[in-house]
C-alpha cells in the first residue's frame, strides 16, 4: 500500500478526505497528518479540538498537540497553550529538535510567536456558553467523552509512519492539568520498523498504562494489530480492577508497518476513519460484556448516531 491513514472519531472524515487529495499529489506523511488534523482544529462544531474547544475550569481554552516521526523517532509537542491557531503545526515544527522539543504554556506560545505561527482566540461564543452552563453543575465526576475527545491521526506513506494528535483536553480541567495526548508513549507512539498507535479518552487512565507504546510493543512481539490493541486494553482494564478502580473511557487506534489498521474501545461505540486501498471508510469499534467487535458503519447506523 502506497499510503494508509486511520483517525479517531467521525469528525476526522472530511480531514482524511483532504489528506487523500494531497497524498494523490505526492505529499509526505507529515503533511497528510497535518492537513487531516487542521481540518478538525479549524471547525468550531468539533468542540473538543482547536477553535471552540472545551474550556478549563477558569473558562480558558487550553490546547495540547504532538507529532512523532516513525523513521527517526523524533517527536514534538506543546502543552496547555492558548490562542495558537494550529497546535499540530507547532508540534510538527518542534519535531526534529534534539532538545526543547516538548514545550508548555508561555514557553510554547513564545516559540510559536517567534517562528511566525498565527494566533486566534479559540474561546468562541458557543464554547463560552458551554462553560457558563457547566460551571453551575457539580463537576466532581468529569466525563472524558462529553462532546468527544482527542483527534488522533496515524499515517503511512510507503514505509514511513507518523502520528499526530490534537485536543483541548478534559472539559473543566484544572489549570495546569496535562492529559495523555502530548505525552510520548501514552497518547501516541510511532516506529516505522514496527507500527504506530494513539489513544483517546481519559488521559489519567491512559497514562497509567502507557498504552500507545504498549500497543507498538505487542506488534513488535509479532501480535496482529487487532490482537495488539485488544490485548493491551483488556490487560489495562484488568489491572485497574485489581486496584479497585473503574477504567474510564479509552479507545485505541493502531497501524502496523504493512498498513494494517485496527481499533479497540471500552465504550459502547467508537467510530473511526480508515483510508486504505484509495478508499475512505467509517468503521465502528464496539465493546459489550467484555467482547470486542468492529463493523463498517452503514446508513442505518449513521442516522441513529448522535455524535460529531
Query: How confident is the model over 245-281, as pLDDT tens digits?
Result: 989 999 999 999 999 999 999 999 999 999 998 999 9
Query: What average pLDDT does range 38-55 have in this prediction?
Result: 95
pLDDT of residue 163: 99
pLDDT of residue 306: 83
Q: What is the pTM of this model?
A: 0.96
Confidence of residue 147 (pLDDT cuts 50, 70, 90): very low
Using an 8 Å Cβ cutoff, are 197 and 102 in contact?
no
Question: Is the pLDDT score of 308 beyond 90?
Answer: no
Using an 8 Å Cβ cutoff, are 308 and 273 in contact?
no
pLDDT of residue 135: 79
Helices and strands per DSSP (H, E), number in the chain: 9, 13
Q: What is the pLDDT of residues 191-236, one digit of tens each?
A: 999 999 999 999 999 999 999 999 999 999 999 999 999 999 999 9
CA pair distance 285, 263, nearest whole angstrom: 6
According to DSSP, the residues that pair with 160 across neighbouring strands are 157
Q: Interhelix angle for 211-220 vs 225-242, to 10°? A: 130
Cell of 296: 463498517
Question: Is the pLDDT score of 114 beyond 80?
Answer: yes
| Residue 258: closest CA among 195, 179, 207 | 195
* Neighbour tally for 57: CB within 10 Å: 17
Burial of 87-111, coded b for 16+ CB within 10 Å and e otherwise, reads bbbbbbbbbeeeeebbbbeeebbeb
Question: Is the pLDDT score of 1 beyond 80?
Answer: no
Cell of 266: 471500552
Q: How far, rounded to the nearest angstrom, does the alpha carbon of residue 229 sit from its chain's CA centroid?
A: 15
Question: Is the pLDDT score of 307 beyond 90?
Answer: no
Amino acid at each position: 500500500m502506497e499510503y494508509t491513514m486511520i483517525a479517531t472519531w467521525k469528525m476526522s472524515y472530511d480531514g482524511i478526505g483532504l489528506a487523500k487529495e494531497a497524498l494523490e499529489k505526492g505529499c509526505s506523511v507529515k503533511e497528510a497528518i497535518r492537513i487531516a488534523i487542521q481540518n478538525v482544529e479549524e471547525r468550531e462544531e468539533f468542540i473538543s479540538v482547536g477553535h471552540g474547544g472545551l474550556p478549563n475550569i477558569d473558562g480558558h481554552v487550553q490546547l495540547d498537540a504532538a507529532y512523532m516521526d516513525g523513521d527517526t523517532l523524533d517527536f514534538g509537542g506543546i502543552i496547555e497553550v492558548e490562542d495558537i491557531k494550529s497546535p499540530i503545526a507547532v508540534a510538527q515544527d518542534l519535531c526534529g529538535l534534539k532538545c526543547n522539543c516538548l514545550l508548555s504554556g508561555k514557553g510554547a506560545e513564545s516559540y510559536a510567536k517567534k517562528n511566525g505561527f498565527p494566533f486566534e482566540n479559540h474561546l468562541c461564543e458557543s464554547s463560552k456558553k458551554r462553560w457558563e452552563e457547566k460551571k453551575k453543575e457539580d463537576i466532581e465526576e468529569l466525563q472524558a467523552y462529553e462532546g468527544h475527545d482527542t483527534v488522533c491521526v496515524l499515517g503511512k506513506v510507503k514505509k514511513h509512519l507518523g502520528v499526530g494528535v490534537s485536543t483541548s483536553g478534559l472539559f473543566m480541567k484544572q489549570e495546569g492539568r496535562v492529559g495523555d495526548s502530548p505525552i510520548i508513549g501514552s497518547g501516541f507512539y510511532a516506529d516505522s520498523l514496527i507500527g504506530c498507535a494513539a489513544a483517546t479518552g481519559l488521559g489519567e487512565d491512559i497514562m497509567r498504562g502507557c498504552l500507545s507504546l504498549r500497543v507498538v510493543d505487542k506488534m513488535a512481539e509479532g501480535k496482529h494489530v487487532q490482537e495488539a490493541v485488544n490485548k493491551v486494553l483488556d490487560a489495562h482494564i484488568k489491572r485497574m480492577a485489581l486496584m479497585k478502580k473503574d477504567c474510564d473511557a479509552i479507545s485505541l487506534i493502531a497501524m502496523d508497518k504493512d498498513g494494517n489498521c485496527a481499533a479497540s474501545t471500552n465504550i459502547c461505540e467508537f467510530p473511526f476513519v480508515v483510508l486504505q486501498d484509495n478508499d475512505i471508510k467509517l468503521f465502528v469499534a464496539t465493546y459489550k460484556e467484555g467482547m470486542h467487535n468492529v463493523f463498517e458503519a452503514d446508513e442505518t447506523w449513521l442516522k441513529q448516531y448522535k455524535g460529531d
